[in-house]
Structure 1
Amino acid sequence: MSLTKGLFVTFEGGEGAGKSTQMRLLADSLRARGHDVLTTREPGGSTGAEAVRHVLLSGAAEAYGVRMEAILFAAARSDHVEQVIRPALERGTIVLCDRFMDSSRVYQGITGNLEQGFMETLERVAVNGVIPDRTIIFDLPAVIGLERARRRAADERPDRFEKEQLETHEKRREAFLDIAEADPERCSVVDATRPVDEIAAEVLSLVEALLPREDESHPSTAEVAS
């Protein structure tokens, strides 16, 4: 089955929430059903954005302040959207992305204390009309997520965001939940404390509900500007 227009699904949540694992499992399930699937991530996902990713996660931009970080995230997102996401959606591909605009709303906007108007302007320019059809928010207590992230990283140093205080991570958790409450048509909250296979089944059902039956075309709700 092929889609006449693509489907854009984003995966959000705090550190160690299991987004990457669930995105991989969903991609495998959808491909097994015959769908064309692209998996990608932020920051990164395109050549230009991957270069910015290193600057951001290494902490090299931290000294210049959260406003500069927000601008760099927006620049990376713009390149990612125009070079990777938009073309894939126009081909009819299902695009799965590990983090997108909601992470900027939470990390730079809420816990970075940047003005709402500034963040909204950056977002509008960066996404340029490409809005997720479905955003899945993986929710779990910050203390559990941080422990998972540290076990996963093993001997690696925590990145720019993993090293922050527990209170900050819990504030981000609440911010993601607030986004979901404000936009229930786009966002679905998934309890990420459960077994991996149980979570995967729920994620698949959330996305399958957006796919067309074989005798239908899919009018994607992703706003893809021409």
Structure 2
Amino acid sequence: QESDPHPHANGPAIVDDAWLSSGRADLWHSKAARGGAVTSATGTGITVDPVSHNVTAGTFSMIGYVDDTYCDVWSGTNGEDGGRYGDAGTAAASHNRIADKSRPKWMETNPTDFADAMFITQSEIDGGECVGNATTGVSDAEAALYWPKYDTLNAVICERIHAVPTGSRGDISIGAVWSNGTWKAEIKRQLNTTNADDINFTDLAIEYLFNVAEFDNSRHGYEHRCSESKYLKFIP
């Protein structure tokens, strides 16, 4: 369903609610800023717009994880997500901001390049490469000391903390490359994860309904561009 007529915990329904009247659909959700660079991020010959901080030329590569989720029947206790649920385990990204959203929790002290600056990983925090505090955040003094390094790289502080996902939520890895305006991405998952919250491809003789939606930092369903219904078929 594209929209959800049910009332829910966060008030009137919004257009990007997703729910099923019955059954379950696997939902593989990939966002570069939410787990796309858990493993690595590199830039080669890149040009960065100093105002928007977008890469406008060159090649930018990331290796990380896709958020493994699913659609099921609607639940009034699931907030605006309606019928969307995360698989068992922890996601690859969490907010890099304190409770009142006034400042980041962490920032790097010596980012080596634009790609390094634009992603903060839990391993960098644990390894002492960042300053800040999970509760009080980056202090004004710390920001004044280390922000010039971000400014020199035309970078900003990442709004998400990247970490290796756990459990069924970490089933899917991704490698993505942006090169002069064109994206290429490859995802990998076991045919049969044995997890109850996954659609497992145990019968390779049948076709599986398989749709694709793309969006450019869009929040609402009407900004998504969804493919016609397609089928995934395995060739022996």
Same-fold call, TM cutoff 0.5: no
Structure of larger gyration radius: 2
TM-score (norm 2): 0.24
Which structure exhibits the higher relative contact order, with contacts defined as CA atoms closer than 8 Å and separated by 6 or more residues?
Answer: 1
Structure whose residues are more often strand by fraction: 2
Q: Structure 1 length normalisation: TM-score?
A: 0.25
